[in-house]
Structure formats: structure tokens, C-alpha cells
Amino acid sequence: MLQQLEGSRAMAVAVGLCRPGVVCAYPITPQTHIVEDLGEQVRSGRLQNCDFINVESEMAAISVTIGSQAAGVRSYTATSSQGLLYMMEGIYNASGLQLPLVVTLGNRSIGAPINIWNDHSDAMAMRDAGWVMLFAETNQEAADLHIQAFKIAEETCIPTMVCVDGFILTHAYEQVDLPSQEEVDDFLPPYNPKMQLDLAQPQAIGTMVPPEYFMELKYEVHENQKKTVAVVERVGAEFRKKFQRHSGGLIRSYKTDGAKTIIVTMGSVAGTLKDVADELGDEFGVVSVVSYRPFPTDALVAALRNATNIIVLEKALALGVGGILANEIKLALGGSGQKIRSIIAGLGGRLITKALLKDCILAHDGDPELFLGLRHDCVNSLKK
Amino acid sequence: MSYSTIRDRFEPENTALQSDYNRPNTLTSGHRACQGCGEATGARAVLDTAYRATNGNLVVVNATGCLEVLSCVYPENAWQVPWLHSLFGNTPAVAAGVASAFKIKGMHDVRVIAQGGDGATLDIGMGCLSGMFDRNDDVLYVCYDNQAYMNTGVQRSGSTPAYSRTATTLPNAKYFGNAAGTGKNVPDIAMAHGIPYVATASIANIQDLEKKILRAINIRGARYVHVHVPCPLGWGYPPAETVKVARLALQCGLFPLFEAENGILVASTPIDVLKPVEEYLRLQRRFAHLFGKNANPEAIKMLQQIANKNLEKYRLSGGLSDV
Ligand SMILES: Cc1ncc(C[n+]2csc(CCOP(=O)(O)OP(=O)(O)O)c2C)c(N)n1
Ligand code: SF4
Ligand SMILES: [Mg+2]
């Protein structure tokens, strides 16, 4: 049913429809509205058979959900920025223990300097933690990806994070079509753990693994991540079939057929970029990466194959190195000879406007690395 | 009752489960603890008692530390109970999650024990432990206190006693081991949270330990039991003397045995034969610098004062009911 909803609320409703048994989180802007709403769902009885637990830190939040998931109950938490860093040890632990948690990350920059606004620095800080990481473009997709996330996580035993741009999605009101409980139940079967704390068959979960076995375990997890590309794609297709709309999958291509210049990006800014591509004409297309992890190398190579110019626009960077997504795309396209430019945009919530985007997209001989809208008057080394 | 052997021919009701050939053996043989490890002894006694009391409806969450490393290095596993290790500092929260999951599944008979060393409990895990107490989560948390970070090679923790030698509080011409006037008392901190049950126990008094675990396991909500577990490697005494060292800690008053309900002290175990702290200290190389060539009688006096204070605070000379 179409409703005008805040993004956080839409996601909270979607998560509730997935019937988690334990929800546990710690407040941090811009994630808070999601868990507030889930708390209300539990207290009002709309979400039954769910324990909503207030904890003293993000470390506790991820740890409670690690415990409850290991005991065989579908578990959920949400965080942002500093909170993600605070739970980082648990983030790696959850994937190492192969616990299919689902976590929402309301993307926000990382301090210092402290800044509550949106960019993707937090997500990038955990890019090698062995999680599935999906990026939403709209509030509709943000809601839909959660329903897919539980399915992907539980099928692969890989914890799954849904990344949603802080404020731009979490606090924006948009029309969202939310499914019914029956539809979600039909799509997402009850959690059937592949491993759990079982009284009938006691086993030790989380033992120390010595050098004789450690490499093999990591190799298996690595291979499993790679195979998950197919799962993310399939679940996206199943979702499309069931709910009659395109959400999820590996990447989304827009006007790429015949495009000479393709802009690659992640998250909500894809919407703005599509408008820009429309205005610039047929030679411009957009590819947004929905599944950042597993990294959809083949799909990206296929989508970008015929473009002469590739521009990677991202809201994060490896300090002293450059664009993270840009470098991964360079690696994926290795030796293709295509021109690849990197644009760093929107750090700490800096506005990304169509005018700025057009200028730098059209600057064909532009800098191979450009900071969109950088104020030269504020940077000492750039002052004339 | 005070410190009898674990098997009591004259008072069979006083016989410890640990002397029963058919004890559950939750931590079974073949693990990698050092000879004479107090922590392994304590954990087996705690979990065997809990296992029997719950008919096996028991799940254990373990912090990183000696107990985790000694018990299961893949592909071996000495635990006979469902067991989960996540991290060093998050065990109380993980256990809270496990308890919540069993509640949601409607498995109300299942009891959850969280366990860890002193470092896991009162240093890195303090935040999560306080949160578990605050929410009154349905978890029995057991701390095995060997008064240092043993697993990483005997470094100082918040439970390391004054003047004790550790790898990070080495005595030299200027320093006499760990600084006096530092450290924290977790049973007191637990009591300040007003949780239903707090107790201390020792591997030198297994009957008392078993009774306390039995009591704790049958209460719902957050419970805390702090067990004194000497470590031959870290403290520097022969492995055969673990129980002797543990017993002397009780008898000199440095480790008081007591119980508290809802934040109020309700019982303590009077000392049968009061001993001077010196007798306890002399057995252990971690206090060797207090004796001999550069002896420090002032330090020994300070430790005696701490013991004397305990005698009064916890009424170890009698006055509260015997547990
Ligand atoms: C976050 C983190 N910091 C440090 C360590 C290293 N570490 C592992 S066990 C341990 C000491 C454990 O001490 P304690 O909890 O007292 O248990 P014990 O080994 O003495 O039984 C330390 C410091 C770790 N595993 N994780
Ligand atoms: S170092 Fe101490 S605590 Fe660790 S296994 Fe050896 S005796 Fe036990
Ligand atoms: Mg210790």
C-alpha cells in the first residue's frame, strides 16, 4: 500500500514485517528513528514475540544480537558512524562466527572533526569485514532491501548490512509501497539456523583456530563471499517477481546503452546523477552499485565495457590514497585502457548539486581526482 | 561449616558433587590448562553444579582468556555443554542476547551462565557487565579471579593486589610491585546495582561454592558470583599447592566469602583458623620481593590491614549467619 512516510519509519516497518525476535540498539543520529519505531512496535504489540533491548553502548548492541542470533533467533540492530566503529570488533566477530545478523547503517561521516551529516566513510571502514553490504537509492529501496537482507544473510550465513544515506533517506518523507505481512511471510521463511546453541547437540561455537586450520577457514569464507554474488542477484530477481518492482540486485544501470560516459556511484546520489545524465543527453549514463559487498566485478565490467569515460563518484576516500570505489573499479577493469576519473563528493554532508556535477562531468580533461565543490578559499595549501 | 575436604564421610550431606564419580564433567579431561590451574577447577565445579541443578538445561558464554584457550582449540573441545565464545570484553552482553533468545523461543527452563577472568569481567567488560546488571538480565555471571591477565602472560588487571609482581608491575629498587591503593571490588560494584544475588566463592571451599551456585542458578535476573582461583604460573607456587594457597587467602581474610541479596550483605563465612597474611604471601613468588634482602615490612603491614578491614566489613569472625 502506498504511504507517505519518513525513510526511517518505512525501514522500521519493513524490519518489523520480517519478524525479528530480538532488536537491540543504541542511539546515534541519524539511525535513531528506525529503532525508536521498532521499540514502539514492540511496546504496542504490533510486533509480537520480539524482545526490544535498550543497552549501554553499540558494543553491547552488536554483542546482544550476536548472542541471540547464535541462540537461533533472528536478530537486528542499527547504527551509524562512531557507533559502527564502536561495535567494530563485534562486526568482524559476527561474520567470523557466520551469524546472519541484519544491520542498518544510517551512513554518516566519521570524526574527528565530529560531524553528524551524511557520507560513506563509516561503511567504507568495514568494507573488508566479510559482510554483505547493500546500498539503497530511495526509501522504497531502503525498505525493500531489508526484506531481501534477511533472506540473503540467512541463506549464506553472512551478516548483511543495509546502507542508507543519513538524513537524505533516513529523515526524508517519500511515497513508499509497503508490503503486507502475508506477502513478506511468503517471501521470507522463518529463520532456520544452520548452526546454533543447541541443548540436544552441544557444540562449542567460537573456538580458537590454530594456524593449521585458519587459512582454510578464511579461504572458505572468501569463496562463499564470491558465490554470494549469485545469491544477491537471485534474491533481487525473486523480489522483483513477487513485489513487481525493481529493488536490489547487484547493480543498476541507467541509460548505459550507447553511453560514452558512465558515472558510477552508490546510494541516494544516483537519483541526482540520473537527472544530470538526462539533462546531458544520450551519451551519458549512470551505474549504481547496489551490492558493494560482494563486489559485482563481472556485472560492472559488462555494464562499463563500451564506455570511453568512466567517472566514479563516491562519498568517501582512503586518506592519502584516493577514491575507494574508484580504485576497486580500476582493478575490476584492469588494463582495459578506459579513462577512469575519481570524484570525491559530499563529504560530511556537503551538498551535491546538479550544477556542480555537470561542470565536472563535462570537464573531460579534468583532474583524475577531483573534490566536488572544494572551497579553495578555505584550504591553506590552495590559497593563492 | 567451614573448610572440609570435598568428600565428607561423617556428614554425607556435606559431600561435594565434585567428589561424585558421576559428576557431569561439563569441562572434561584432555584440555590444556596448566597443572594445578585454579580457574579450570573452579569452572568445572561451577558448571557441574549448574548442569545438575538445571538437568542440563544450561548454556555457557565464555570470554576470551585462559579458560577459553585452554578448553577448546579447534578441532578439540572439552566442553560438554552448548558453549559460545565471542570476544574478550562483551561476554555479559552476548549472554544477555542468548537469554533473550531462549525467552523468545519459550524455552524458559534454560539457564545462561556467562563466565570470564578478572580482566574480562572488571576491566574490559565492565561496561557490558554493568549494563547486564542494570537491565537485570537473566544471566548468572561468574568471574574467575586469578588477579591478573594470565592468558597474555601475567599483566596487571584491576584485580591485581597491592604489591603484587606482574609483568607490567615489576618490582625494582624504586617500585614494590603493583601500586597500593588501586584496584576495584566488583562484588561491591555488583551489590551497588542492587541485583538479586551476589556471592564470592573459592575453590578451597567447594561445598560452599556449590551451594552458592545452586542458589544463584535458581534465582532469575542478574546474578554475580566471584570465584577466587589461584594460578600457579602467574602467582609462582608449585601446582600441587593451588588449594592450599586458595585456603590461606580465605583464612587470612584477604578473600572474604559472603552473599548479598538485592544489594544487602546477608551472610558470610566465618574464618575457622585465622592466619596472618604473611603466611599466604610467603608461598607465592609474586610477593617474594616483600621478603628477603630488600624486605618491605610496611607493605606486609598494609596488606594485613586490608585483611583486617575485611574481617570487620564482612564479619568474618562470626556475627552473620554461616552460609
Ligand atoms: C579487545 C582485546 N584486547 C586484548 C586482548 C588480549 N587478551 C586476551 S586474553 C587477555 C587476558 C585475559 O585475562 P583475564 O580475563 O583475567 O583471564 P585469564 O586469562 O587471567 O583467566 C587479554 C589481555 C583481546 N583478546 N581482545
Ligand atoms: S596460566 Fe594460570 S589460569 Fe592460565 S591455564 Fe595456567 S594455571 Fe590456569
Ligand atoms: Mg585473570
Q: How far apart are CA B185 and CA A8, in angstroms?
A: 43
Q: In what order do the strands lie in the sheet with B264-268?
A: A204-205, B83-85, B58-62, B111-117, B140-145, B223-228, B197-202, B258-261, B264-268
Rg (CA), chain A: 21
Q: Which of B122, B143, B145, B149 to mutate to test the pocket of ligand 1 (most atoms within 8 A of CB)?
A: B149
Count the helix, strand and coil residues of chain A and give each as a percent rounded to the nearest 5: 40, 20, 40
Residues of B in contact with A51 (CB under 8 A): 100, 103-104
Q: How far apart are CA A79 and CA A82, in angstroms?
A: 8
- Name the residue with cell 576516500: A317
Tell me whether residues B90 and A24 touch, CB distance under 8 A.
no
Whether residue A187 contacts residue A241, with contact meaning beta carbons closer than 8 Å, is answered with no
Residue A151 three-state SS? helix
Q: How far is the CA of B126 from the centre of ligand 1 (A)?
A: 13
Selected residues 8-37 of chain B with any CB under 8 Å from a CB in chain A:
none
Q: How far is the CA of B113 from the centre of ligand 3 (A)?
A: 18
Residue A256 three-state SS? coil
The chain B residue lying nearest A191, using CA atoms, is: B105
The chain A residue lying nearest B66, using CA atoms, is: A208
Question: Domain holding B202: CATH number?
Answer: 3.40.50.970
The rounded percent of chain B whose pLDDT value lies above 70 is: 96
Question: 3.30.750.24, 3.40.50.920, 3.40.50.10420, 3.20.20.140: which CATH number matches A252-383?
Answer: 3.40.50.920
Structural domain including B52 reads 24-313
Q: How far apart are CA B280 and CA A237, in angstroms?
A: 71
| Protein residue closest via CA to atom 17 of ligand 1 | B117
Report, as an integer, the average pLDDT of B283-295. 94
Residue B88 near ligand 1, beta carbon < 6 Å: yes
Q: Report yes or no on B222 lying in a domain.
A: yes
Nearest to B97 among A64, A89, A203 (CB): A64
State the pLDDT at residue A367: 81
State the pLDDT at residue B205: 96
Q: Which long-range contacts (CB under 8 A, 24 or more apart) does A278-282 make?
A: A279/A354, A279/A358, A280/A358, A280/A361, A280/A362, A282/A255, A282/A258
DSSP E strands: which ranges in A210-293? Answer: 251-254, 261-265, 284-289, 291-293
Distance from CA of A207 to the nearest CA of B (A): 6
- Name the residue with cell 597474611: B277
* N residues, chain B: 323
Q: Which CATH class is domain A2-243?
A: alpha beta
A-B CB pairs within 8 A amount to: 157
Q: How far apart are CA A297 and CA A264, in angstroms?
A: 13
| Protein residue closest via CA to atom 9 of ligand 1 | B65
Residue B89 near ligand 1, beta carbon < 6 Å: yes
Distance from CA of B23 to the nearest CA of A (A): 17
State the pLDDT at residue B322: 44
The chain A residue lying nearest B106, using CA atoms, is: A49
Tell me whether residues B93 and A64 touch, CB distance under 8 A.
yes
The chain B residue lying nearest A204, using CA atoms, is: B83
Q: What angle do CA A301, A139, A11 make, to 5 degrees?
A: 115
Atom index in ligand 2 nearest the CA of residue B146 equals: 3
Q: How far is the CA of B149 from the centre of ligand 1 (A)?
A: 6
What mean pLDDT value characterizes chain B? 95
Domain boundaries, chain A: 2-243, 252-383
Q: How far apart are CA A369 and CA A378, in angstroms?
A: 19
CB atoms within 10 A of CB A357: 25
Q: Report yes or no on B181 lying in a domain.
A: yes
Confidence class for position B284, pLDDT limits 50, 70, 90? very high
Q: Which residues line ligand 2 (CB under 6 A)?
A: B 33-34, 37, 39, 66, 70, 146, 150, 231-234
Torsion of CA A125, A126, A127, A130, to 10 degrees: 170
Q: Report yes or no on B110 lying in a domain.
A: yes
| Protein residue closest via CA to atom 7 of ligand 2 | B37
Distance from CA of B195 to the nearest CA of A (A): 17
The chain A residue lying nearest B132, using CA atoms, is: A55
| Protein residue closest via CA to atom 5 of ligand 2 | B33
Check pLDDT > 70 for residue B321.
no
Output the DSSP codes for B244-279.
HHHHHHHHTTSS--EEEETTEEEEE---SS---HHH
Residue B65 near ligand 1, beta carbon < 6 Å: yes
Contact partners, residue B232, CB within 8 Å, separation at least 6: B34, B35, B36, B37, B38, B238, B239, B241, B242
Per residue in B247-268, pLDDT (tens digit) is 999 999 999 999 999 999 999 9
Q: How far is the CA of B154 from the centre of ligand 1 (A)?
A: 10
B55-94 b/e with 16+ CB inside 10 Å = b?
A: ebbbbbbbbbbbbbbbbbbeeebbbbbbbbbbbbbbbbbb
Distance from CA of B53 to the nearest CA of A (A): 15
Residues of B in contact with A63 (CB under 8 A): 86-87, 90, 93-94, 97, 128
Q: Report yes or no on B246 lying in a domain.
A: yes
pTM value?
0.97
Q: How far apart are CA A299 and CA A196, in angstroms?
A: 35
Report, as an integer, the average pLDDT of B176-195. 97
Number of domains chain B contains: 1
State the pLDDT at residue A212: 97
- Cβ-based burial of A375 (10 A; exposed 0-12, middle 13-18, buried ≥19): exposed
Distance from CA of A203 to the nearest CA of B (A): 5
Q: Report yes or no on B12 lying in a domain.
A: no
Give the mean pLDDT per block of 10 residues along chain A (384 residues). 95 98 98 98 98 98 98 98 98 98 98 98 98 98 98 98 98 97 98 96 96 96 95 98 97 97 98 98 98 98 96 97 97 92 97 96 82 93 82
Q: Report yes or no on B321 lying in a domain.
A: no
State the pLDDT at residue B301: 97
- Name the residue with cell 566442553: B79
State the pLDDT at residue B7: 65
Model ipTM value: 0.96
Whether residue B264 contacts residue B319, with contact meaning beta carbons closer than 8 Å, is answered with no
Residues of B in contact with A203 (CB under 8 A): 77, 82-83
Fold equal for A2-243 and A252-383 = yes
Residue B157 near ligand 1, beta carbon < 6 Å: yes
State the pLDDT at residue B1: 37
Per residue in B86-101, pLDDT (tens digit) is 999 999 999 999 999 9
Contact partners, residue B293, CB within 8 Å, separation at least 6: none
Q: How far is the CA of B215 from the centre of ligand 3 (A)?
A: 25
State the pLDDT at residue B250: 98
Per residue in B2-51, pLDDT (tens digit) is 444 566 667 777 889 998 889 999 999 999 999 999 999 999 999 999 99
Report, as an integer, the average pLDDT of B124-143. 98
